[in-house]
């Protein structure tokens, strides 16, 4: 198991955002978390990446407990997060944005190899490599944000709402790329409000409600679950 989360509880002040959440992420798979706004999906990711310190529980990544480690150390171990809202640096070029994702990487040759790897996923970024990130379309900025997260060479890539605000044709392209990233050996945690899309591409799924896991199983099975279809798929 690449990532094992047990009884993870996280607070914002006195508000309990996660309540004893347990999640398993097998290596080489896509695991999705679905749920309404405020269910705790983004909080889960930020707790894993060290942005928020959990109140209790354990997070074991590749056999090592990481719940007390700082974010930069967690990145160096092989976890990278692509945050909701893209958050690219608008006044920096595409290449400069990508290079910020390689802050933990030593060696210009390695950085160059990572750039070429990102460009293989997103050829449009290679075409626009000297263009300011703020001038890119929404879909291109999302590709840039994912590419930046890949620059650290993660074993585990966490994607927070990658389809948010994008046209359906761009979402289809991102789905193809996420699958390709998995096929090349990177494990993925996918947080999505587009539950139908997430369940189609994931291996395993967890449903969060008000900070708790209320259902989990094979994504293909949850896709056919009547409660999931009614509550999250609008069917």
Q: Give the CB-side neighbour count of residue 97, counting CA atoms within 13 A.
A: 32
Residue 29, burial from CB neighbour count under 10 angstroms (0-12, 13-18, 19+): middle
Are 4 and 187 a contacting pair, CB within 8 Å? no
What residue ranges of the chain have pLDDT lower than 70?
Answer: 235
Domain ranges of the chain: 3-78+154-231, 92-152
pLDDT in the model for residue 60:
98
- CATH architecture designation of domain 3-78+154-231: 3-Layer(aba) Sandwich (3.40)
Residue 59 φ then ψ, to 5°: -130, 115
Give CA–CA dist 139/88, Å, rounded. 12
- How far is residue 153's CA from residue 175's CA, in Å, rounded to a whole number? 20
The Cα–Cα gap between 125 and 143 comes to: 8
Q: Which residues pair with 56 in a beta bridge?
A: 9
Under a CB-based contact definition with an 8 Å cutoff, are residues 221 and 229 in contact?
no
Do residues 9 and 19 make contact, with C-beta atoms less than 8 angstroms apart? Answer: yes
């Amino acid at each position: 198991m690449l990532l094992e989360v047990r009884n993870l509880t996280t607070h914002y002040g006195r508000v309990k955002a996660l309540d004893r959440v347990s999640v398993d992420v097998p290596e080489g798979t896509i695991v999705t978390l679905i749920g309404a706004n405020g269910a705790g999906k983004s909080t889960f990711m930020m707790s894993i990446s060290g942005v928020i310190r959990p109140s209790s529980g354990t997070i074991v990544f590749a056999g090592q407990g990481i719940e007390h480690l700082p974010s930069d150390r967690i990145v160096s171990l092989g976890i990278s997060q692509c945050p909701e809202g893209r958050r690219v640096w608008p006044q920096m070029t595409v290449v400069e944005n990508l290079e910020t994702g390689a802050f933990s990487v030593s060696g210009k040759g390695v950085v160059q190899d990572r750039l070429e790897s990102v460009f293989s996923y997103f050829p449009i970024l290679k075409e626009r490599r000297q263009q300011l990130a703020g001038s890119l379309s929404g879909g291109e900025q999302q590709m840039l944000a994912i590419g930046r997260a890949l620059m650290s060479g993660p074993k585990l890539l966490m994607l927070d709402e990658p389809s948010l605000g994008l046209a359906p044709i761009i979402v289809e392209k991102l789905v193809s790329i996420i699958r390709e990233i998995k096929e090349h050996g990177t494990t993925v945690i996918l947080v999505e409000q587009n539950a139908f899309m997430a369940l189609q591409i994931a291996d395993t799924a967890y449903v969060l409600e008000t900070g708790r896991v209320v259902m989990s199983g094979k994504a293909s099975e949850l896709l056919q679950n009547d409660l999931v279809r009614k509550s999250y798929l609008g069917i």
